[in-house]
């Protein structure tokens, strides 16, 4: 959250890359920690349950990543489970590496994927989300691309590095403020009436076209030059 807060208004930061360490992306919550929290003193009537508070904190984090104005790129390898599955669902571009194991294990543990469920539905649709929720079925890297969880498949970590550099090079061609505006419009699309979105889009378009990015971008196109942000 500190990182996200620090870069939210910084358009010199063009992309955020989420990647695990040691060959794994994210295996989800620590079951032993959950068990210890459950064994702790129960909340008094009217008091918030500490487990609910802790669970909701992850929802705040994943929503902040989802709403980041910068491009968010995920490189997923090894274990991509539970919360890691959810993180994949809020990426703008996801690269998945051969050998990755993707799964929603929550229901097999007797708990719901509470904070990530809405993001999974939005990513792959209700039909696919329900299948993974009620079966806990595993997905491999190619399967993740097939169902729309990920965009790019890489045979090796080295190939993933190459793909990542290619994605970042493409992101650098796009104006940072325009990216932020576009992401906001797209993320609001499921929740707002089309007329509201189109009215807002027109206002954003005019502001961008009259702003420094729009003026520089169109001038560069006419002059057949690269825009200033493409070389940053």
Classify the C-alpha dihedral 133-136-141-146 as positive or negative.
negative
Per-residue confidence of the chain (232 residues) as pLDDT tens digits?
Answer: 999 999 999 999 999 999 998 999 999 887 777 766 666 677 788 888 888 888 899 999 999 999 999 999 999 999 999 999 999 999 999 999 999 999 999 999 899 999 999 999 999 999 999 999 999 889 999 999 999 999 999 999 999 999 999 999 999 999 999 999 999 999 999 999 999 999 999 999 999 999 999 999 999 999 999 999 997 5
pLDDT of residue 171: 97
Beta bridge partners of 75: 19, 95
Q: Which two tokens stand for residue 188?
A: 């609001």
Measure the CA–CA gap between 58 and 75, rounded to whole angstroms. 20
Provide the 8-state DSSP code for 163: H
Measure the CA–CA gap between 232 and 229, rounded to whole angstroms. 5
pLDDT of residue 232: 56
Q: What share of the chain is helix, strand, coil (3-state, %, to 5)?
A: 55, 10, 30
Measure the CA–CA gap between 9 and 71, rounded to whole angstroms. 13
Q: What is the pTM of this model?
A: 0.91
Q: Which two tokens stand for residue 195?
A: 């007329």
Q: Which two tokens stand for residue 81?
A: 């489970």
- For residue 54, the number of C-alpha atoms closer than 13 Å in the C-beta half-sphere is 10
Contact (Cβ atoms closer than 8 angstroms) between residue 90 and residue 62: yes
Q: How many CB atoms lie within 10 A of CB 187?
A: 13
Nearest to 71, CA basis, from 170, 209, 150: 170
């Amino acid at each position: 959250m500190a990182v996200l807060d620090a870069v939210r208004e910084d358009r010199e930061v063009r992309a955020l890359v989420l990647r695990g360490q040691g060959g794994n992306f994210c295996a989800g919550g620590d079951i032993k920690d959950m068990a210890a929290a459950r064994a702790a003193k129960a909340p008094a009537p009217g008091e918030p349950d500490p487990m609910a508070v802790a669970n909701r904190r992850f929802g705040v984090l994943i929503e902040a990543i989802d709403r980041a104005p910068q491009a968010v790129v995920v490189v997923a390898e090894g274990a991509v489970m539970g919360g890691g599955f959810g993180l994949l669902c809020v990426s703008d571009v996801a690269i998945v590496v051969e050998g990755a194991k993707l799964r929603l294990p929550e229901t097999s543990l007797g708990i719901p994927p509470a904070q990530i469920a809405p993001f999974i539905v939005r990513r792959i649709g209700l039909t696919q989300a329900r299948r993974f929720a009620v079966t806990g079925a595993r997905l491999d890297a190619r399967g993740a691309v097939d169902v729309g969880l990920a965009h790019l498949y890489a045979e090796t970590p080295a190939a993933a590095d190459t793909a990542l550099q290619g994605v970042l090079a493409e992101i650098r061609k796009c104006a940072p403020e325009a990216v932020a505006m576009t992401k906001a419009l797209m993320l609001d699309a499921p929740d707002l009436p089309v007329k509201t979105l189109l009215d807002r889009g027109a206002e954003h378009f005019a502001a961008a076209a009259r702003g420094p990015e729009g003026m520089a971008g169109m001038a560069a196109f006419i002059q057949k030059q690269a825009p200033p942000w493409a070389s940053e």
